[in-house]
Amino acid sequence: MKQLLPLDTWVRKDHFEFFSRFEEPFFGVCTEIDCTRAYEQAKAGGHSFFLWYLHRSLAAANAVAPFRYRISEGQVWVYDQVHASPTINRPDGTFGFAYIDYHADFPTFATAGQQETDRVRNSTGLVPAISGENVIHYSSLPWINFTAVSHARSFSFKDSCPKISFGKMTDVHGRKRMPVSVHVHHALMDGYHVGQYLELFQEKMNE
């Protein structure tokens, strides 16, 4: 479900109109997440760490309203929920696109997520996921402890979905750290909202 955001009464109306005119309206930040507790919890329960942190990321994104905003034909729509459209890496070095519904209940999410992960890993090609605007584009680069990320973009395609990437987990002074990149549409949100997401994501990783 989605509803229209009234632009005339939106506190960010001027920001929306300003950044909507940009050829490249996305901005991005890179930081690190402490995943010591999350990794321990996932492994203790026999869960996929990828699905564990993906679920926490989605929970945080759904809780920060602008991450559920999307632009369509000059209007801003607010979705009740957003879901995951991640890349799934294969043993042969390729990847495929997947689609995983968000469920607040982790076991439900993990079951569906594992089925989708297995499906994509056992397929070939990109396997375009049946998704839509109410997704976050996720990617995982577990080989790279990155400090910056850029994304391939088709500027003729009017995309407003956030793009979140995860990198290689490393041990730093006894703590497990993982780089996270967040790219978002500046007409829909600012650094303040990205900060809210990152703070909440870290809290959920610490639970």
Burial of 122 (0-12, 13-18, 19+ CB in 10 A): exposed
Strand partners, 78: 3, 69
Q: Does residue 8 lie in a domain region?
A: no
Question: What is the model's pLDDT at position 153?
Answer: 86
Q: Does residue 7 lie in a domain region?
A: no
Q: Does residue 202 lie in a domain region?
A: yes
Phi, psi of 206 (to 5 degrees): -85, -10
Question: What is the model's pLDDT at position 100?
Answer: 96
Question: What is the model's pLDDT at position 182?
Answer: 98
Annotated active-site residue 173? The verdict is: no
Question: What is the model's pLDDT at position 129?
Answer: 63
CATH number of the domain to which 142 belongs? 3.30.559.10
Distance CA 36, CA 66 (A): 28
What residues in the chain have per-residue pLDDT under 70?
A: 129-131
Q: Does residue 16 lie in a domain region?
A: no
**Residue 178 domain boundaries:** 25-206
Provide CB contacts within 8 A for 40, sequence distance 6+: none
Q: Does residue 119 lie in a domain region?
A: yes
| Set 15, 83, 173, 186: catalytic member | 186
pTM across the whole model: 0.95
Q: How many domains, the chain? A: 1
Q: Does residue 1 lie in a domain region?
A: no
Provide CB contacts within 8 A for 181, sequence distance 6+: 28, 29, 30, 146, 148, 149, 163, 164, 165, 166, 167
- For residues 96 and 123, the answer to whether their CB atoms sit within 8 Å is yes
- The 10s digit of each residue's pLDDT in 118-165 is 999 999 988 776 667 899 999 999 999 999 999 998 888 889 999 999
Q: Does residue 2 lie in a domain region?
A: no
Question: What is the model's pLDDT at position 127?
Answer: 74
Distance CA 102, CA 109 (A): 6
